Structure 1
């Protein structure tokens, strides 16, 4: 059985919070990858197309992904980003300059990823939102709650079409035909040129998208402050489950019904992203914490923890692998493989990544991308290998 090693500076107790957080992060990484397969493999993800592939099984799988995964796992990753920020702040105010340097490096990694590898990058947005998060570091709880409420309102209003905070405007070059042609048949330089234009739109639309992750960042910050992962708290997670499950059933249920019947209400997708996705995220978060309160489940799901500790490396590797499989400059399977193929493919790739992560972390303290991120943050190469006993 592959058992991941204890992370450096992690609690040695089996119920250590870092082990639980890493497992949750690994689960979130798999959930995000499952949704991203809609974007890697065809224009269905970017343009919100449904019934892209023939066959009833493909359709049911697509409906399941859009209902149970889309909108939930990016929310979980955002919550964990804020939680991680809270853990860094335990070192005091000296952690803030280091956090901002980490964000600058992440900004660069995200820009390179979005332009040179895959347009669907989230790292750039996280880094930009992190600079807005930083001023809340040592604010009172009431101020953090007020900030979360403000960003939630801005995000929900944007999804529901009440306002548009972005500045990108119309893009005559961004059509389904051009998108399909570029990624399905284009050379690598053509894809990079197109992705640079998409990157420009993403930056101009930051004011519209950043509130979507910022309110979750702030909730994660509060969770970290109050040490909700520090020890099992069955009552807390049962309350979270009781509050979130009805909302998830209502708003994701509406979306699933309209999706399956083909008579979607104009607000079905908006409600799914604004309310249903985050509610479903809290359902998953509560269930995971109830499950991980038991030592045997922490052991069984330990491989998720290894993948979660190397989340940046695995995320970037997923993009590189899938663009080489689907884009025209690679194997060229763009638009040809339905979810009956791409979902098992995603599971297989993630399983291999999890095994690789376990083996890598037996010898090294960080994933390769995490090591680069950390070294650039500190301005010098950081120790990568585990210190030998007695040395």
Structure 2
């Protein structure tokens, strides 16, 4: 391989060339470059039409009303807006979340906890899933919000969001779901799942970085307080000049994802099976997270007798991760792996491999061969 094989799609995806081509139409003087909020001339009208078209495309993927899509700078901002916005102005609010959420949720809830909000931290099972019964038993009379991710970004395991959503809807508790790793990878239906707030990111779905969205249910109306003020854009929930080219890119990316969801799932399932088959003769390999309830594009493996940092150094021709990109600055073992019961030593032996739209069979075979060779060599010099 002339360049490293990219197996870190869970961290970010490349922009699909079709998306990039579409975005370029909204940047230059011969394109649509007006401010969508400028409603006094054609340039603004064209930009606004493009933004609303993208809003429909994003809404379509998650089976929502376009009016329920609020543009943000990404899933991190969406998480912050949903959680902080839901508890703002409430008397003695209580939140339920889990210890293996994305840092955007964890750090937001920790900040709220430090500022007087009560938070219950659920621990998942060894499969990385939160059970509906756990959520139900954690509810208090003053519970305002439950925030859980649909697909874990390190493990790829999938929590039963629909069952939890139905239970919370009966009890009148708001339900926020981080779907950054789910959208475009598995079916997301906000109505069927009884979700009130749902975070989305473009760069996990072959769109550009720096743009995301928050689904906010309209019927019955969910009210959240804005965290960014200055103009009252996006139904008063998120002010700021809208980046038309990025929004168009997200819309196009979500449209592409909707059109090839089943095909892409099947392709990724084949690549995953081939990858694991290529490692079958390597002893001491353990899969972390649920084997049954998962998306096919993320595989988290521990290698007995080999620490992940040494393995990554040996795999110079592979772009892989020892955990979430949001926590890559730390040398501590993954909090997600510790959260599902792995000890520090086991967690230090784990790597995440994630495949995507542009992964090839040749790359998967090359990766498996490299892993077997490097693990065997490292074990031999212990």
Answer yes or no: same fold by TM over 0.5: no
- Compare relative contact order (CA 8 Å, sep 6+) and give the higher one, 1 or 2: 1
Q: TM-score, normalised by structure 2?
A: 0.27
Q: Would you tell me which structure has more helix in proportion to its own residues?
A: 1
Q: TM-score by structure 1 length? A: 0.27
